[in-house]
Amino acid sequence: MESKIPVAILGATGTVGQKFVLLLQNHPWFEIGELAASPRSANKTYKDACAWKQDKPIPSLLRDKLLLEAGAKLSSRILFSGMDSSVAGPIEEDYASRGHIVISNSKNHRMDSDVPIIIPEVNPDHFEITKKQRFMGAIITNSNCAIMPVAMVLAPLHRAFKVKWVQLSSMQAISGAGYPGVPSYDILGNIVPFIEGEESKVETESQKILGRLNGDVIEPADFIVSAQCNRVPLIDGHTINLSMKFERKPSPRQVRDILGAWKSLPQKKKLPTAPSSPIIVFEEENRPQPARDIRLENGMAACVGRIRECPIGHIKMVVLGHNTIRGAAGAAILNAEAYISLGYFQLKPSEQVKTRAPG
């Protein structure tokens, strides 16, 4: 039997926690060792505590697994956090202080000066700043789900032409609000032009992600982002209308060629969760579309279409990303894979677990 790294999921019963459970099934490197959730779910079986909302059944090996309370002692050193931001901050810090590597989907620590927001295709060098953290372990975050595909698109274009400003308007699916999400009376047949706290996150996180690591500091990129964020009646998939201006004006064809050919560290290292093509470029005028395209590359790619000249800036386009996979659980798993592949984490032989036969 092959040895795997035991991992724990914090917030295992929530929307992102469920997606972690689904995506980690049969993972070649990781095996779920522990599940943790809120005090009201602790000591219940996973099937009894979890309002399961995924398109596949709960994995049989986890159905009767007892939930621990988030904050309890865990043996797994790598923890995937899908906890709600109202409770995540101090719990994640406590686990990092005890020596755990916390890969977080929560917003609490993203803008901390010594915590990186990692997209492995974009800024894997930012992992280095985790060595400066005050913890025995580390906290690593992935970005807001709306900025994730945008930052993936901006990265190669910023390097080629240097971004001056970005204007974006998002159409964000209700799964981004977690379960039970947005009340049906508010969202059915409607668009809600406000998501609390969303625009400020979108406007600041991309500069940190595309910033430069200078010693102990991540110096943010100097372009400006203006964001308008809307909730739309769609289950999964965030669509973003994006306009950009650069220091050196590219043609739409140059942009298509650069985005379509772009590959980076996860592809070169062939990490298990990495998409073979991190950006999929469509030539059709009516693509990408959430109903048709969000599951391409197992939901881990940024889908881009309608690349054309912008009369105010230089280029405009439509960007689509799977918000609960590439924008949440899948991003965190890929972060863990990249962190390990770059040599930041070593597991002792005594900590490995043997793979079990699927049930």
The answer to whether residues 135 and 151 belong to one domain is no
Cα separation of 109 and 339, whole Å? Answer: 18
Total number of domains in the chain? 2
The whole-number average pLDDT for the span 157-179 is 96
Return the number of other C-beta atoms located less than 10 Å from residue 3's C-beta: 14
Cα separation of 87 and 17, whole Å? Answer: 14
pLDDT in tens, 290-316: 999 999 999 999 999 999 999 999 999
In the residue annotation, 322 being an active-site residue is answered as: no
- Both tokens of residue 194? 């406000």
The answer to whether residues 102 and 220 belong to one domain is no
Cα separation of 284 and 320, whole Å? Answer: 14
Q: Residue 114 pLDDT > 50, yes or no?
A: yes
Q: Which pLDDT does position 332 carry in this prediction? A: 98
In the residue annotation, 145 being an active-site residue is answered as: yes
Q: Residue 124 pLDDT > 60, yes or no?
A: yes
Cα separation of 17 and 80, whole Å? Answer: 8
Q: Residue 236 pLDDT > 80, yes or no?
A: yes
Question: Which pTM was predicted?
Answer: 0.95
The answer to whether residues 133 and 201 belong to one domain is no
The CATH number of the domain holding residue 203 is 3.30.360.10
Set 100, 126, 145, 322: catalytic member:
145
pLDDT in tens, 314-327: 999 999 999 999 99
Set 100, 109, 238, 322: catalytic member:
238
Contact 323, 172 (CB under 8 A): yes
Q: Which pLDDT does position 356 carry in this prediction? A: 55
Range of the domain at 256: 147-322
The CATH number of the domain holding residue 63 is 3.40.50.720
Q: Residue 181 pLDDT > 90, yes or no?
A: no
Q: Which residues pair with 239 in a beta bridge?
A: 171, 320
The answer to whether residues 249 and 173 belong to one domain is yes
Cα separation of 191 and 233, whole Å? Answer: 7
The whole-number average pLDDT for the span 154-164 is 98
Return the number of other C-beta atoms located less than 10 Å from residue 262's C-beta: 21
How open is the CA angle 183-185-189, to the nearest 5 degrees?
Answer: 110
Residue with tokens 């079990």: 356
The answer to whether residues 135 and 9 belong to one domain is yes
- End-to-end alpha carbon distance in the chain: 16
The whole-number average pLDDT for the span 201-214 is 96
Q: Which residues pair with 281 in a beta bridge?
A: 304
DSSP class of residue 58?
P
